[in-house]
Structure 1
Amino acid sequence: MISMGLVWDRAMAVISGRLGILLSLAVILLILPPVAQAGLEAISDTSFALRSTKFAASLLVFIAATISAIAMTAVASDPAVDQGAALAIGRRRLGPFIGVSLLIGLLFAVAMIPGAVLIGLAGFDVAQARAGGVPDGVNMPLLGAGLLYFIVLMPVMLWAAARLLPLSAVIVNERRGAGAIRRSFALTRGSSLKLMGVLILYGLVFLVVLMAATSVVGVVARLLAGADSPVIVSLVIAAVTAVVTALFSILQMVFAAQLYLAAREAHDAA
């Protein structure tokens, strides 16, 4: 059985001891790229060259975020890994990490298809409902079945996400590909409810902090920059969003790495 208290204490010790490296990775990979992308998005030109540049920037932001997850996991897993070694590991494990992530995303998407089909067959118009209109000719039994399917699916997906928490650490430390999914499920056996609670708490705290930070900073930026400077305001909000996301990403990656180490100890001992 994994002790969440022990994992948390170890995670805080790692953050305290390796904060400099973790923050440097966050600045390079999680803060600067999204802010630069926000600057590009603020340009209203619709030329093909700019659209291509924006697409390339989005791809680079995604790659940088993926490398950051791998690099932070490596730093949190091994005290001998410095910034250079972490970035090298990030580049080496980028392919397997993206491949496994896409596989999981595909599985989650496939799991959602039956509910989406039922709602579609019911004649429910999502766009009309968002606009405040009352959908006409909706087959209520089919709509109810579709909604019920998603209600049942949500806790199942949360359970799966909880069982996959050590996934990044497994990919980084054990050099596995798709087999990392099975290994992650094996390591988290018996800890599902605890990990689901951790995910819910993490998500709620992140959303509250992010909304509060962006709301307050957004109001201050509008007051200081004026109503005629929407670009400046959007850049400030993008920067705050990137900083908050980066800090919570550090916490997430370090916790997941320490969860992996604790689970491996318990699993191997058994």
Structure 2
Amino acid sequence: MVKMGTVWDRTAEFLTDNIAAILPIALLAFFVPASIEGNFQAAMEGADPALILTLRLVQLGFGVLSIWGSLTITVMALNVAGVDGAGRVAGKRLPAALLVAVVTIAAVFVLLLPVPMVLSANGVDLAAIAERREVDIAPAMAGFVAIYMLVLAGLLLWAAARLIVTTPVIVREGRWLGALRQSWKLTRGVAWRVIGVILLFALVSWVSILAANTVFGSIFALVAGGDRAGVSLAGVLTSIVVAAVQTGFTVLIPAFTAKLYLALTAAAGLREGVVIA
């Protein structure tokens, strides 16, 4: 029986014992990109297409860097390589992690397709929705969209719980798309407990980030001024504070999933097929 409390204790112990090694990775892969990216939306307002494209490409690069950071912390939490070799192992596993991420995003995109297809077939202006302009949607159509999105959200939450240890599987077992199937097998019987952890984590992180954004955003707006459009000093300072809070929660994810993976494999009696490097 895998106890989530024990997994959290092991996660906290790992983070406490390895804070000096984790901090540089967290700063490089999570904090710095989040601090910079927090101002992209303001920078894109009224910008020319070339600048918008450049910022989107930078965001993509930040996303890849974030995946590498998560892999590195996972390697450390699984103890499959020393601190010095964690980044190297993460680099080797990066192509597999990127492939899994692309496939997962594509699957979610396909599941979301029925909504715009149905709206378009019923004469709804999708361009207006994209531009956040008001559109008239029939009550029946709005009800369909609401029910579909609610059901889809439940399915995605269940899938997230079953696939939560995909990254540790990629790191420790050297699998590619097979990591999805292996994670599904390992999480059989613990999905509801994992869902509870996901919901609690999402709630706490959302409240913390919202509070940081609201409180510090208001303070910096009063001190430095934040009324003008575009990038402002208040916006930059707020994004730094929010990035710091966000980084703390981001570091928790790979550490927790790694310790959960170890608990699940121990409970299943799995020891074979481990690839160290």
| TM-score, length basis structure 1 | 0.87
Tell me, in whole angstroms, the C-alpha distance in 1 between the residues paired with 2:155 and 2:55: 36
Tell me, in whole angstroms, the C-alpha distance in 2 between the residues paired with 1:132 and 1:217: 31
Tell me, in whole angstroms, the C-alpha distance in 1 between the residues paired with 2:40 and 2:116: 35
**Compared with structure 1, are the counterparts of its residues 125 and 205 closer, same or farther at alpha carbon in structure 2 (3 Å cutoff)?**
farther
Residue 244 in structure 1 maps to residue 245 in structure 2: yes
Q: Equivalent residue for 2:275?
A: none
Q: Equivalent residue for 2:181?
A: 182
Offset, 1:33: 2.7
Secondary structure (helix, strand or coil) at the match of 2:212 reads helix
Tell me, in whole angstroms, the C-alpha distance in 1 between the residues paired with 2:54 and 2:154: 39
Secondary structure (helix, strand or coil) at the match of 2:170 reads helix
Tell me, in whole angstroms, the C-alpha distance in 2 between the residues paired with 1:13 and 1:79: 17
Instruction: Point out where structure 2 has 5 or more consecutive residues left out of the alignment.
Output: 272-277
> Would the aligned equivalents of 2:226 and 2:235 in 1 still touch at CA under 8 Å?
no
Tell me, in whole angstroms, the C-alpha distance in 1 between the residues paired with 2:21 and 2:224: 34
Over the residues paired in the alignment, what is the CA RMSD in angstroms? 2.8
Instruction: Point out where structure 1 has 5 or more consecutive residues left out of the alignment.
Output: none
Matching residue's letter, 1:73: T
Tell me, in whole angstroms, the C-alpha distance in 2 between the residues paired with 1:99 and 1:117: 27
Offset, 1:69: 0.9
Matching residue's letter, 2:86: A
Residue 221 in structure 1 maps to residue 220 in structure 2: yes
Superposition map of 1:35-50 within 5 A: 35-37=35-37, 46=47, 50=51
Tell me, in whole angstroms, the C-alpha distance in 2 between the residues paired with 1:33 and 1:183: 31
Q: Deviations over 1:201-226 (max 9, x none)?
A: 11111110000011111111122213
Offset, 1:34: 3.3
> Would the aligned equivalents of 2:81 and 2:89 in 1 still touch at CA under 8 Å?
no
Offset, 1:235: 1.1
Q: Equivalent residue for 2:159?
A: 160
Offset, 1:46: 4.9
Superposition map of 1:34-183 within 5 A: 34-37=34-37, 46=47, 50=51, 53-78=54-79, 80-82=81-83, 84-125=84-125, 127=128, 131=133, 135=136, 138=138, 140=140, 142-183=141-182
**Compared with structure 1, are the counterparts of its residues 147 and 123 closer, same or farther at alpha carbon in structure 2 (3 Å cutoff)?**
farther
Tell me, in whole angstroms, the C-alpha distance in 2 between the residues paired with 1:100 and 1:43: 31
**Compared with structure 1, are the counterparts of its residues 187 and 145 closer, same or farther at alpha carbon in structure 2 (3 Å cutoff)?**
same
Tell me, in whole angstroms, the C-alpha distance in 2 between the residues paired with 1:161 and 1:181: 11
Offset, 1:160: 0.2
> Would the aligned equivalents of 1:38 and 1:235 in 2 still touch at CA under 8 Å?
yes
Offset, 1:108: 1.7
Offset, 1:55: 4.0
Offset, 1:38: 5.1
Q: Deviations over 1:56-98 (max 9, x none)?
A: 422321121111111111111117521x322212221111101
> Would the aligned equivalents of 2:11 and 2:255 in 1 still touch at CA under 8 Å?
yes
Tell me, in whole angstroms, the C-alpha distance in 2 between the residues paired with 1:139 and 1:232: 44
